[in-house]
Structures are given as C-alpha cells and as structure tokens.
Structure 1
Amino acid sequence: MDTKLYTMTYSLNSGIKGTVNLSPKQIEEWINCYIEKSSYVTIIGKEYFGINSVLVADFKVHNAYSEQRIEIEVVKQLSMLNDELVEAYDQKKLE
C-alpha cells in the first residue's frame, strides 16, 4: 500500500519549528487531537512520533490545497490572460 504523505510544519510555543510527513488519516487524527487539546502519538515507518498539541502554537499541512499552490495557479491564469491580451492587441495593431 503506497499512501501519499503530506508535510506538516509546526511551531511550538517555545519557538522551535519542526516538520513531519503524515498520511491523510494521520492528519485527520492530528487535527482532532489539536482541537481536543490532547497528545498525539503515531507510527511513521518504524518510528514513533508524538507531540503534545497544547505546546503547538501553529501548524500547516502542505498539500494540493495549500494556499501557496492556489496562489501560484492564480498567477499562472493571470499570466495566460495577459498573454491573450497582448496577442489580441498585436493583432488589432496589424489591421
């Protein structure tokens, strides 16, 4: 079974930052622990990973729906529209 993993970055209240790769199921479990203010423990590969959600100041999961990816797509679309406008302007100039 080849499950896609997503990188979660988090910052502790102390300022320490960390990253961990989690499956969608693990992300869902983590978010539930964060909401419930409970500790989260899971197995990643052959290692145990645990984090106390009370000590986490913030976190972000980088996946297909991340804001950065959406922003990049919007910029690409705007660039394509700009190219179309330039082409239309050039064609009008030639007439």
Structure 2
Amino acid sequence: MFPDPASPVAHPKPEQTAAAGPLGGPSYTYRGATIDCQKGGHVCRLVMPDHPLHGRGFGVVGTITPLVDLWLDERRLPNYMRLAVSKPKKR
C-alpha cells in the first residue's frame, strides 16, 4: 500500500590529506569541501565557499560531513540550523 522509503545514498568517506594541516591537526577533503581540524581532531572547520557555514568551526569530522551532504544533495541546512536573516528596517 505504501511505497518503500528511499534507500540512503552512499557517500564517500572523508580522505585525509595531511596529518598536520593549517590548524595543527588532520585535514580532509570531502565532496569538494576541505575540513581542517585542530590538534586532537575534536574541533574542525568547514572550508567550502558556497556553503552558508563556510569558515565555521564545529565538532569532529563526522559532524561536518552530513552538513556537506545535505547542502550538496538538497541545498539546505538541517531545520535546527536555520540562519536568522534580519529584515531591513522600514524608513
């Protein structure tokens, strides 16, 4: 009666490009994005100029890759991450 849900798309794994990148920890490439981590790899930065969160730091690599996937696949952020845009003041 109901169609089967779509199978999740298999995405590649992040590829480590440096053991000590610009932030002192490992750096990765993932679907056109660069993910640079601090030492220990617990705080990482997304480098992807067309992504709304470009240049921002998050948790581990596994926190950033789903944000890249959602942006590339659906051009959106998770609902809990909606960006607040201020409306211009009326004059």
TM-score, normalised by the number of residues in structure 1: 0.29
TM-score, normalised by the number of residues in structure 2: 0.30
Structure showing greater radius of gyration is 1
Structure with greater helix share of residues? 1
Pick 1 or 2: higher relative contact order, CA cutoff 8 A, min separation 6.
1
